[in-house]
C-alpha cells in the first residue's frame, strides 16, 4: 500500500468517525504510528484535516457543512479574542440575537451576570450555556440541523421575525475578497437573514483565517452589515469598508 492509498484510507476513516486518535488509526489500518503521523501531516498540509494532540479531526470537503464539534476547536484563541471585543458593544438591558456559530457561542459564554440581557437564538447549545445564568433566553425551536445544533426552517425564521433586537452577532464560513459573506449551510443562512432583518445593528464575528474563496451560499455583502470584529486588523483587505472593522 503506497502513501496515497494510506492517506485515502485515513481520510475515509476520519470522514466516518469525524475525530480519531493516532492509535485508533493504527489499529484500524494496521500501520505504524510514524506512518500515520506522516500521512496526517500531508493531509493537514492539504487542508483536509486539522491536527489535534494525539490525533486529527476531519475538516470536510468543499461545500460540506462542518460539525460544531470541529468548529469550536478551530481557531479557538482567535474566537475568544473576538468574543471579548464584542462584549464591549453590549450595553445594560441589550436585546441580542445570535446564530448557532461557534463564534457566537464563545460570546455567550462570556456574557456577564446582572446586566438584564436578553438573547434570542437558534442554537440548541446556547440554551445549555445560558440555562444557569440570569440572561433571559429565547430559543427558536424548529428543525434541528445535524451536527450543528442549529434550529432551521420556516418555524425558526418566523420565530426570529416576531422579535426585535438591538444587536445581531453572527459568523459565516468565509468572507470573500470581494466582500461576500458565504456559508455552506443554506438553511442556517436563511435564519441569519431573518436575524439581520430583525436587528438594529449587525456584527460579523470573523477570524482572519476566514478570508477565502466563496462557499456554496451567499448570505449578504459587507455593505449590508454594520460592524466586523476580528482578532486582528483585516481592514486593509477591504479599504472601501474600512470604517466597519472593529
Residue 63, pLDDT above cutoff 60 = no
Domain segments of the chain: what residues? 3-60, 71-244
Say what the alpha-carbon torsion angle 21, 26, 31, 34 is, to the nearest 10 degrees. 40
pLDDT above 90: percentage of residues in the chain = 52
CATH number of this structure's domain 3-60: 1.10.10.10
The DSSP output letter for 233 is -
Contact present, 218 and 211 (Cβ < 8 Å)? no
Query: Which one of 14-18, 19-23, 68-72, 86-90 scores highest in mean pLDDT?
Result: 86-90
| Dist CA 103 CA 108 (whole Å) | 9
| Dist CA 57 CA 19 (whole Å) | 4
Q: 180-202: per-residue pLDDT in tens?
A: 999 989 999 999 999 999 999 99
Facing residues of 180 across strands?
A: 221
pLDDT bin (cut points 50, 70, 90) of residue 1 is very low
Q: What is the pLDDT of residue 181?
A: 95
| Dist CA 163 CA 176 (whole Å) | 30
Entry pTM: 0.76
Helix (H) or strand (E) holding 70: helix 68-73
Q: What is the pLDDT of residue 82?
A: 95
Q: 225-235: per-residue pLDDT in tens?
A: 999 999 998 88
Of 124-138, 166-180, 203-217, the one with minimum mean pLDDT is 203-217
CATH fold for the domain made of 71-244: Rossmann fold (3.40.50)
Task: Name the region of 141 (left: φ>0; alpha: ψ -120 to 50; beta: rest).
Answer: left
Contact present, 190 and 157 (Cβ < 8 Å)? yes
Q: What is the pLDDT of residue 48?
A: 75
Enter the C-alpha cell of residue 183: 456559508
Amino acid at each position: 500500500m503506497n502513501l496515497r492509498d494510506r492517506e485515502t484510507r485515513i481520510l475515509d476513516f476520519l470522514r466516518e468517525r469525524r475525530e480519531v486518535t493516532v492509535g485508533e488509526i493504527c489499529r484500524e489500518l494496521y500501520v505504524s504510528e510514524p506512518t500515520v503521523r506522516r500521512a496526517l501531516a500531508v493531509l493537514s498540509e492539504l487542508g483536509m484535516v486539522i491536527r489535534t494532540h494525539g490525533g486529527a479531526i476531519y475538516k470536510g470537503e468543499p461545500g460540506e457543512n462542518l460539525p460544531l464539534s470541529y468548529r469550536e476547536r478551530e481557531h479557538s484563541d482567535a474566537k475568544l479574542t473576538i468574543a471579548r471585543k464584542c462584549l464591549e458593544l453590549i450595553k445594560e438591558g441589550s436585546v441580542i440575537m445570535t446564530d448557532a456559530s461557534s463564534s457566537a457561542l464563545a460570546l455567550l459564554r462570556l456574557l456577564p451576570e446582572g446586566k438584564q440581557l436578553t438573547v434570542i437564538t437558534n442554537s440548541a447549545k446556547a440554551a445549555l450555556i445560558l440555562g444557569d445564568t440570569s440572561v433571559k433566553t429565547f430559543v427558536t425551536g424548529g428543525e434541528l440541523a445535524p451536527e450543528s445544533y442549529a434550529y432551521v426552517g420556516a418555524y425558526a425564521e418566523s420565530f426570529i421575525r416576531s422579535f426585535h433586537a438591538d444587536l445581531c452577532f453572527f459568523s459565516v464560513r468565509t468572507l470573500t475578497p470581494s466582500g461576500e459573506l458565504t456559508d455552506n449551510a443554506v438553511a442556517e443562512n436563511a435564519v441569519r437573514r431573518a436575524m439581520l432583518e430583525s436587528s438594529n445593528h449587525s456584527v460579523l464575528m470573523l477570524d482572519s483565517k476566514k478570508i477565502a474563496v466563496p462557499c456554496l451560499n451567499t448570505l449578504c455583502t459587507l455593505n449590508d452589515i454594520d460592524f466586523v470584529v476580528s482578532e486582528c486588523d483585516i481592514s486593509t483587505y477591504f479599504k472601501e469598508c474600512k470604517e466597519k472593522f472593529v
